[in-house]
Amino acid sequence: MIKDLAAREDGSVSVSGWVEKVRDQRYVQFVVLRDETGAVQLVNGGVLREADPENPRSDILLERTTTISELSHGSFVTVSGELQHNERVKLGGVEIQIEQLEVVSRALPDTPIAKDSGSEHRLDWRFLDLRRPEQNLVFRVQTTFLNALRQVWVERDFIEVQTPKLMASASESRAELFEVDYFDGQAYLAQSPQFFKQMAQAAGFGGIFEVGPAFRADPSFTSRHATEFTSIDSELSWIDSHVDVMELHEELIVAGLTAVKEKHGEAIQKLFGVEVNVPSRPFPRIPLAEAKEIVKAEGYEVPRADADMDPEGERRIAAHVQQKYGSDFVFLTDYDASIRPFYHMRHDDDAQLTRSYDLIYNGTEISTGAQREHRIDVLEAQAREKGMDPKELNFYLDFFRYGMPPHGGFGMGLNRVLMLMLGQSSIRETTFLFRGPNRLTP
């Protein structure tokens, strides 16, 4: 791999990769070759433009010169040659003197996208867009982040589950359901693994986690919404309140960002101009009503008093927290029951408030968590209060009729976390293949 060349001694070497740039000069040719780990400069010093009968290597040199001159951007080649360390070479301090070059797969001469192409056009050619070092880094960061989270879960003896994405009924709001034909009936794409996470608590699994797809029939075209996204979910039993869930959430976030900073911090700074900040624990925690008052005092009033914090309110409270506490994260807690699902537990001393939270990261909500209501009579009453018929929820409510421990959990959008961590403008840049209201390809 190209990243390994700097550590090798001078000598024979073979590399493969995509042609990124060709500089075809009169007496020397340079090729920048890139694989998934980096780029290296290739040098052809044996340039020959026409046959030379007195040179026994004339045919070889002429063919090589012609081949390099005709190389198109993106062609995949294999090169053998002499590795040389040269501190004057800006690209890694090494170069390869070409001895043999094989064109394994020739690219069409007209590249369909350029660096300045708009995001939608780049998404049309996503496999080419992903060759950019920035995009490659996004998914290396994603891998490191998820691996760090998984280590925390495994060390705490959590169980990984894979819940079904075809459901017989809604898991959240019917307003955002994708309906699909299912033999002689209808099924729905899962909006979240919520019900199945809670089933695992009734099954005695205790702590569980899942990283998997979720689907929302949301016609939004914003920078942070998608119709299919990757959801990070966790649920655990034997909790006293939603504070236990927040503490687990903090532990995971800190572990993930620490791993990313240690492994990719320098590359992120170089390619994105962003420093990865690892937050201190505990994260600031502010009740929603108090957060609204704070932003109101600073000049912004959330349009509806009985609604969630809107995007501008999130940005304002995040700026306040950053200034006051120096934290990129803040938990907004104690949401009104009117804007939370029926299965969120209420406070004992105020039934209008739920034991729930949203986690805000760099001014944008990335997660919702809560303690769940585990008492069947209370759960049924709260469903009726929301205008739902408990009979339609029987498969879910059965979980609570045979012994359910106190439990809670959260769901977090992976692509949003990456977007905010890397300072990107849209989750389109941090999603392998984006799905939105007008995008089903590639």
Please check if 414 is assigned to a binding site: yes
Long-range Cβ contact pairs of 92-96 (< 8 A, separation 24 or more): 92/2, 92/5, 92/6, 92/38, 92/39, 92/40, 92/41, 93/6, 94/5, 94/6, 94/40, 94/41, 95/40, 95/41, 95/42, 95/43, 96/5, 96/13, 96/15, 96/40, 96/41, 96/42, 96/43
Please check if 70 is assigned to a binding site: no
Please check if 413 is assigned to a binding site: yes
Partner residues linked to 187 by β-bridges: 180
CA end-to-end span of the chain: 29
State the Cα angle at 214 between 208 and 217, rounded to 5°. 150
Please check if 172 is assigned to a binding site: yes
Alpha-carbon 360 to chain mean position: 16
* Residue 24 · residue 68 · CB < 8 Å: yes
Alpha-carbon 96 to chain mean position: 36
Please check if 416 is assigned to a binding site: yes
Residues in the chain: 442
Q: Which residues are annotated as a binding site for L-aspartate?
A: 172, 216, 368, 372
Which residues are annotated binding-site positions for ATP?
Answer: 365, 413-416
Enumerate the known binding-site residues.
Answer: 172, 216, 365, 368, 372, 413-416
